[in-house]
Amino acid sequence: MAHVRVENLSISFGGIKAVDDVSFEVEDNTIFSIIGPNGSGKTTIFNMISGIYRPDSGRVTLDGEDLVGKRPDKIAKKGIARTFQNIQLFTNATVMDNIMLGRHIHMKTGVLGGAFMWGRSSPTAKEEVKNREIVEHIIDFLDLQSVRDQFVGNLPYGKRKLVELGRALALEPKVLLLDEPSAGMNTEEKDDLRIWIKDIQEDYRVTILLIEHDMNMVMGISDRILAINQGVKIVEGKPSEVQKHPEVIAAYLGEED
Amino acid sequence: MDMKRDYYEDIELFQSNTVFFWTVVLMACLFTLPLYVESYNIYLVNIILVHVIMAVGLNILVGYTGQISLGHAGFFAIGAYGTALISMHLHMPFVVSLIASGLIAAFFGFILGLPALRLEGPYLAIATLGFGLTIMHVIGRWEVFGGRMGITVPPLDMGVPGTPLSFVIEGDVKIYYLILVITILMVICARNLMKTRLGRAFVAIRDDDVAAEVMGVNLTVYKTLSFAVSAFYAGIAGGLYGYVVSFFDPFTFNLILSIIFLVMVVVGGLGSILGSVLGASLITYLQFDLLKNVEELPYLGDLLVLVSRKWLTVIGLANFSSIALGVIMICIVIFEPLGMFGIWIRIKKYWKTWPF
Ligand SMILES: Nc1ncnc2c1ncn2[C@@H]1O[C@H](COP(=O)(O)OP(=O)(O)OP(=O)(O)O)[C@@H](O)[C@H]1O
Ligand SMILES: [Mg+2]
């Protein structure tokens, strides 16, 4: 189960309301998209859900449990993973090590266990091997074998986006927040990504919150869509409903045509 | 793609037969070293080994976790004084007093790690610098620590001092073997740590602490842990250092020492265990051996003395080693930010493709 509920969420920066009284509900195992023009507060909503920002008021709950005020690492342990709009990877580590960090909360090795890893039958080595197998599946899934041992800093933009997705998946999240995952990708990569996101929802049974500017993708895979403008909710509903809303057409879709 | 990939290979100590072969060769050389190296040089090698432990530990903090410390001489002092005093007053075997003072240093590292949660860059540098200076001055004031006069380290006793179970180890060569084993152990442990969960968390904090936290890394725990582990290494190094030099005073552990430790790490290569080993060896050798005798070099020595008299100081080449270290630092930062480890990688690449 992963039911996300956001109630009357607000935050302002220096007197300017970035998110203003926004509420929505995401049903278990659905894809919920947030759209809106640049600077409308989409990323800020994600930052409040994942604990990076503390909202001025309002509530965020996961399966009824309040998340506001919890540290980001605690929220991650509850099963919420995310990617970042501007890619925040560990640049001087390999693809493998980046995705392995996603396994952090599922592993136990401490100082002594790590230091005294004598041979392959030590508990640390066993834990490492087990988790590397899991990560290898993710690497296969996202078609990253060819760059497995490369440093992330050397990869092209599209690949880095995928590594970030892989890292979030490795956490085995109940809820996945994707902030513009297709930005900077070509059409082919976008098509793959779209299939992968659908697979993540269906096969891994993850609830997905998606911020995306590509309207084909949004309309194609979302169960529900929230449109916001200047921090305020305009409309929320099924893709067909949102598409027809005059304010959405004016504020957002208009410029696409 | 081979379907049966062995994931243990990724974290294995010897990742290929070549590595294994050269490790065996190196070990053979190290364990037979006293047969063909004279005693003074064994003393120097002992200092190098101590500095290797120190640099590896400091690199965990600076290179892997991305924090700074200008106070590691303080942890070094805690280790040196702790080991000597515990064996002197509590009559504990060497191993017990060494590990105990390593843990005391780790505790101080943990304490110093707390302000590091809020401080960054220059502010953290100042805080750690203050710590190092405080330790030095506190030790200088307290009689238990021998005050400003310093203390003479009791003999290295593997058994219980002052009882029939006493088992004293004397002489540079015997101490060399003991320190060598401990150094190898500590280097392997550090390497294992950095290859597994803890090391990944440290690197994550260094490269992007927000992303690390969002992926479930508790910054408080892991930053203080990095300080503690690093300080533990420094404490162990300090404890061993005491037995190598057998006498020290508070001013042995001054700010310059902290900076030289940092130089070893940077010159060796940030975020590389092998680099730390190389950096500590090179800098210690330069400091104690090469630069000490530089006046005796034909032509160059005379020239340098002349230059130094004219432009720098009247007392010969006293400052020369600091200047040389500074120049090396600047060159490394400009030409090879990965340090000696980077140079090593390049050599390896060159030989791999040679002669094709
Ligand atoms: N840390 C901050 N400090 C000050 N202002 C901020 C901060 N974070 C966000 N804002 C402001 O909040 C508003 C919403 O920003 P946000 O990044 O959420 O927009 P967005 O909808 O994600 O836009 P884009 O499509 O460009 O990514 C912007 O006006 C932004 O300048
Ligand atoms: Mg955004």
Cα distance from B12 to chain A (closest Cα, Å)? 8
Residue B4 scores a pLDDT above 60 = no
Angle at A185 between CA A183 and CA A191, to 5 degrees: 110
Q: Given this model, what pLDDT does residue B16 score?
A: 78
The CA distance from B180 to B34, in Å, is 12
Q: Give the pLDDT confidence of B205-246 residue by residue, as tens digits.
A: 999 999 999 999 999 999 999 999 999 999 999 999 999 999
Give the pLDDT confidence of B60-75 residue by residue, as tens digits: 999 999 999 999 999 9
Chain-centroid distance, C-alpha B197: 23
Give residue B2's pLDDT: 47
- Of A40, A47, A85, the residue with max ligand 1 atoms within 8 A of its CB, to mutate for a pocket test, comes to A40
Distance of CA A94 to the CA centre of its chain: 21
Is 50 exceeded by the pLDDT of residue B89? yes
pLDDT in tens, A200-239: 999 889 999 999 999 889 999 999 999 999 999 999 999 9
In short, whether A230's Cβ falls inside 6 Å of ligand 1 is no
Q: What order of strands is seen across the sheet that includes strand A57-62?
A: A16-26, A4-13, A57-62, A65-66
- What is the value of pTM for the model shown? 0.92
Q: Which long-range contacts (CB under 8 A, 24 or more apart) does B146-151 make?
A: B146/B249, B148/B249, B148/B250, B148/B251, B149/B249, B150/B247, B150/B248, B150/B249, B150/B250, B150/B252, B151/B81, B151/B84, B151/B85, B151/B247, B151/B248, B151/B249
The pLDDT-based confidence of B316 (bands split at 50, 70, 90) is: low
More confident residue, B162 or B246: B246
3-state secondary structure of B181: helix
- Evaluate if residue B297 carries a pLDDT over 80: no
Inform me whether the pLDDT recorded for B126 exceeds 50: yes
Is the CB–ligand 1 distance for residue A116 below 6 Å?
no
Q: What would the two tokens of residue A62 be? A: 């996961």
What is the domain partition of chain B in residue ranges?
39-290, 294-356
Q: What is the C-alpha radius of gyration for chain A, rounded to an integer number of angstroms? A: 19
Which residues of chain B are within 8 Å of residue A101 when distances are taken between CB atoms?
200-201, 204, 212, 215, 217
**Cβ-based neighbour number of residue B191 at 10 Å:** 18
Average pLDDT of every residue of chain B: 87
Name which CATH class applies to B39-290: mainly alpha
Instruction: Write out the two tokens for B171.
Output: 């002489």
pLDDT, tens digit, 9 for 90 and up, residues A126-139: 999 999 999 999 99
Q: In the predicted model, is pLDDT for residue A22 greater than 80?
A: yes
Q: Does the pLDDT of residue B327 top 50, yes or no? A: yes
**pLDDT at site B1:** 42
Per CATH, is A1-79+173-257 categorized as 3.40.50.300? yes
The segment(s) of chain A belonging to CATH 3.40.50.300 are 1-79+173-257
Q: Is B210 on the interface with A (CB under 8 A)?
A: yes
Residues 6+ positions from B288 with CB-CB distance below 8 Å: B44, B47
C-alpha distance from B25 to closest chain A C-alpha (Å): 21
Q: Name B152's bridge partners.
A: B247
Which residues partner with A210 through β-bridges? A33, A178
| Band of residue B292 on the pLDDT scale cut at 50, 70, 90 | low
| ipTM of the modeled complex | 0.93
Single-letter code of the amino acid located at B349: K
Q: Is the model more confident about B343 or about B240? A: B240
Strands A31-35 and A224-229, sheet pairing = parallel
Query: pLDDT-based confidence at A257, cuts 50/70/90?
Result: very low
pLDDT value, residue B60: 97
Q: Which of A90, A92, A164, A174 to mutate to test the interface with B (most CBs of B within 10 A)?
A: A90
Does the pLDDT at position B78 exceed 50?
yes
| pLDDT (0 to 100) of residue B200 | 96
Report CA-CA distances (Å) from A76 to A62, A172, B156.
12, 10, 50
Tokens 């930052």: give the residue.
A47
